[in-house]
Structure 1
């Protein structure tokens, strides 16, 4: 997978809590932010799929969205 370098502007008051959270997780700040971005992208995709009503097709199968 290719790596792309991006510049991310973080509000000054948020930066220390991000650094602390990454440290608590034993992760680099970069890895922590990438993980958060992946989680949010996954949730966005799930929300989008839910708006398509695909969960209706699963009714009665024991699965829900």
Structure 2
């Protein structure tokens, strides 16, 4: 596992902490989940830009 240092703006920190608490997740798990979701979206956009998204339609998975 890789350890990273993350700097969060002071005005955003309370919303992140509240979101983690509301989701019943640790702060770390909440941030990892958000990063993972963004990475999946970025990958999907890259595939779509390459024209590969149409081949995935109807396979049961949606974004």
**TM-score under structure 1 normalisation?**
0.82
CA contact (8 A) 2:20 2:27 kept: yes
Matched positions, count: 58
Q: Match of 2:20? A: 22
Of residues 46, 49, 53, the one that matches 1:48 is: 46
Local SS of the residue matching 1:36: helix
Q: What is the RMSD computed on CA atoms of the aligned residues?
A: 1.6
Max Rg structure: 1
Q: Match of 2:34? A: 36
Q: Which runs of 5+ in 1 are unaligned?
A: none
Q: Match of 1:12? A: 10
Alpha-carbon separation, structure 1, partners of 2:7 and 2:24:
23
Q: Which runs of 5+ in 2 are unaligned?
A: none
Stretches (4+) displaced over 2 A: none
**TM-score under structure 2 normalisation?**
0.84
